[in-house]
Chains A and B, each alone.
Chain A
């Protein structure tokens, strides 16, 4: 569905059209689920967060100015809601801080690691990033947003997006030599 078609859908939701709302739900459910899960890494709260996001879309669709793309508006709500949930339901163990010891990584070349091991390492490396860093990485590579759109989603300046990505890349370089991500900034 194109951005324009989604815009129309949101307008219909703003007019309290239940069918349009259902359509939007099916359109975004998997994406929202994936993003919220990757961001929070807490299986048990993902469903409720996605539910809250949909309700926020229902009540807030009238406020969507149409200045941004519907997807950035929706992801912005998802991001905000997920972070709020993380604060409301903190883990007994705090999220890994930036200065915690790096996870021990075996220096095996990629060819010796199978797909699953690589994915496993990626997952663990990502959990070593802060939620905001993880968000920038996910939104860039998985959801393929521009840095300007990411700034909208995260409600922060564009330079902050670039800085977070810069730090995330540096950290990931140390954690994942297997992905050929080693070396200096030059």
Chain B
């Protein structure tokens, strides 16, 4: 066996070896599946490894997280946030999409018309882009006179808190009293409470409240809940 053959055999072995997890989970396409099968017929290292992948995979599948059924209150809150988002005017987005559609339109037009059409669409596109850019920089212009402010000034802040397992209800109440907070949601199946405290003028800054909570041995986790759901989802941008 010359060196060249040996090298290429080694390569095809590594290729097959790499693909074994997806051979094991049955998602390889026909061509790759066939080539792995061919290799398995002559490689006992890979046959052994396949066995390991299958055993391991079975164990991973058994690791069912006790995912709770969605709590009706959680869904309710989610739907409220959806309404909040829909009530908030947003700047025009998604310029890329109209452009793709427009260029597809140009592509299917007969040759003679295409140039003229393209020019017209380009002009329209530029206009749309200018308008959208203006809109993006001054979102306030979308408000109509009859519309209430999209996001009410927040007089409260919400926190997510998890108490340590041995915490008695009495201790919890004492802490809540100290921070002038009350439970608005929870405990969730994982023990997370949503606690509302006053914010804004006259109230302690949230950072002070959090510090107070975190300094207590009864609290294992305390974080502010982000206030604006629309900013949270906008952050994500285009996920394809």
Contacts and interface: CB of A to CB of B under 8 A. Distances in A.
Interface size range of chain A in the complex: 35 or more
B120 to A, nearest CB: 26
- Cβ-closest 4 pairs across A and B: A186-B45, A146-B27, A141-B57, A141-B60
Given A33-B65, A144-B25, A179-B56, A62 B240 contact: no
Contact of A33 (B22, B60, B67): B67
A61 to B, nearest CB: 11
A26 B223 CA distance: 27
Interface residues of B, number: 64
Contact of A77 (B70, B86, B239): B239
Contacts of B75: 22, 25
Nearest to B188: A47
A56 B67 contact: no
A66 B150 CA distance: 32
Interface in A153-167: 155, 162, 165-166
Contacts of A62: 94
Interface in B51-66: 51-53, 55-57, 59-65
A34 B55 contact: no
B10 to A, nearest CB: 10
Interface in B142-195: 160, 162, 188, 190-192
Given A37-B65, A55-B233, A185 B60 contact: no
Interface of B: 13, 17-19, 21-22, 24-29, 43, 45-46, 48-49, 51-53, 55-57, 59-65, 67-70, 74-75, 77-79, 81-82, 85-86, 94, 97, 160, 162, 188, 190-192, 221, 223, 225, 229-230, 232-236, 238-240
Given A34-B67, A47-B192, A142 B78 contact: no
7 contacts: A25-B78, A46-B190, A47-B188, A55-B85, A60-B236, A123-B63, A140-B21
Nearest to A67: B240
Interface of A: 16, 18, 21-22, 25-26, 29-31, 33-34, 37-38, 43-44, 46-48, 51-52, 54-56, 58-60, 62-63, 65, 67-68, 73, 76-77, 80-81, 84, 89, 115, 118-119, 122-123, 137-138, 140-142, 144-147, 149, 152, 155, 162, 165-166, 169, 172-173, 176, 179-181, 183-186
A59 B61 contact: no
Contact of A169 (B21, B55, B81): B21
Contacts of B239: 56, 60, 63, 73, 76-77, 80
Contact of B240 (A65, A169, A181): A65
A37 B191 CA distance: 15
A181 B26 contact: no
Given A47-B188, A47-B190, 14 more contacts: A22-B79, A29-B70, A44-B221, A55-B82, A56-B236, A59-B233, A65-B240, A140-B25, A141-B57, A146-B22, A147-B19, A147-B22, A183-B48, A185-B17
A169 B236 CA distance: 31
A179 B240 contact: no
Contacts of B192: 43-44, 47
Contact of A165 (B21, B45, B229): B21
A16 B70 contact: no
